[in-house]
Structure 1
Amino acid sequence: MIFEAKRKRANMPPKVSVQIVTYNSSHDIASCLEAVIHQTHPVDEIFVVDNASADHTVGVVEAFLSKHKSQIRLVQNERNTGFAPAHNQGIRLSKSDYVLVLNPDVVLAPDYIKQLVEMMERNPTIGSATGMLVFQDNEEIIDSTGLVMNRIWRAFDRGAGEPRQQWSASGEVFGVSGAAAIYSRIMIDDISIQGQFFDEDFFAYKEDVDVAWRAGLLGWKAYYCAEALGIHKRGWKKGQRGARPLFIRQRSFINRYKMIYKNLSGAGWVRNLPQLLAYEISVHGYMLLREPKVLGAWVDFWRQRPNLKAKRRELKEKVLNKSKDKATEASK
């Protein structure tokens, strides 16, 4: 916070770091890095955290390193630690004012970072932001304009599959997709639980929704900027569920319940109980008949429950302390 004040007094541009987690991403990473390097807002550092790729990903990144040694840093993990832990590695290594979390299959327009940072600088209550993400194979169709959550705590990419001209208005959203999300350092520090920004118990999938929910509970806003454009290849699309490895299907399924357990409090959920029960009976019935092995993920939930409970308790304390701070400020 002190550094932030000094930077603004000195009229210095905010520092931005970009971090990309790769896993067998050799077909995409070159285009992704090229677009990051040519951003109109200066990028202080680019962290590529490789999760033990078995293809030529590391070789492609090393070719960029030879030309941009001062800007790119390659971190090679000995095993696939998962999306959430690997991005936390990058967050801990970076010291920037803003952190752009980026998928290797996303190509950003040159002013993507500039548009988001300028908007966030104008409104410090915004802790996360995203631009308009469109599909690579049809740039007129929306991939994501942020995240929405329904009344039974299912999250979706806002506008997915719809024409891009319908989403030309910028505005506040529930959260932002981790495919191309920028987060302020102040918010990262404020909402981290057990020193983790992304919950490492998630491995991958819905960790961005969990962050969005937690940030909202702690008073942070998320914003969609329609003028910032990103093109997303998206490795998994609708209709391809059966092709996903069992481990990934299990994580995608169970992480919703981990998120609900940690973030939902009070008795407000009771009014949505009929809808919730109908959905849960339906989805568990389907899994029992069609994908029974996915239900084995509940073993993981109960194994991790003590730690999830500790995280839930820490979050509740943060929310309570923030409420007390607001009350104190209001009474002055």
Structure 2
Amino acid sequence: MSLTGRSVRVRVPATTANLGPGFDTLGLALALYDELEVSVRDAPGATVEVHGVGEGEVPTDESNLVVRAMAYTFERVGQPVPGVNLVAHNAIPHGRGLGSSGTAIVSGIMAARGLLEGIATIDHSMLLAIATELEGHPDNVAPALFGGLTIAWTSADGPKHKKLNVHRGVSPLVLVPEFTLSTEVARSLQPQTVPHEDAVFNVSRSALLVAALTQSPELLFESTEDRLHQSYRGEAMPETRDLIAALREAGFPAVVSGAGPSILVLCNDPAQRAQATELAESVSTSSWRSLPLAVDFKGATVVSVPERN
């Protein structure tokens, strides 16, 4: 069956991973989106048009991460890779710990899924498997795919996830700096082993954090304490480290967003977000963009676009 003329629109949310103690396990989808339209053409290859974040910076040919993820998905289900035209409207900051690379991967997979509707079936488990193969960690892609709060793990049968609904009282705030940090650099600072008491500490806080996010937002401050990764990565982003310390000293449940350098503050009411923003502006010498964001509950979506006459 020819795909020529098929077109889909994809929308994928930003994500924040770890959430403090939930290292490589917990993730949250945020209401900030990259959107794209992909159209199949007769000629092979790809052309990419980017608007917003990444315009003039990211590749605009087959090496583009969205295109590569889409091609990988076609090959994974045994279908020939078509030529495509792609138009992207990006809002998620790059290199800031908000899942931009995972979002690009999920965007390509969802585009392939939409274009292959009626030809190949890609269910939820396969979506997560393909995304994890490309990204490396299920906690980074599960919330982008499925929305809400996700717990991700890897079993003998491959990556798995559990989606949970977030308490309506949780009000996320993301503070985004002008500087960037690569995930590879952040991970290189992690020790191979940690003290037993630190591991036990994080197990307790991770369990408490799930309860705080789903049932008891008043526990968010205590439940976001961490001893596994943030202190080790602090030397690579001292401005982030120092601002988190100031926020937590003032009682705000602030953590590194993903690998950083953005900061996630899991407030328990909207007014607290304004207070945290004011504090950040008053104590930091760096410039931070304040993004008060809702939790995204839908995850990635794809819809077919009617053929144009």
Q: TM-score, normalised by structure 1?
A: 0.29
Higher relative contact order (CA 8 A, sep 6+): 2
What TM-score comes out, normalization by structure 2 length? 0.30
Greater strand content? 2
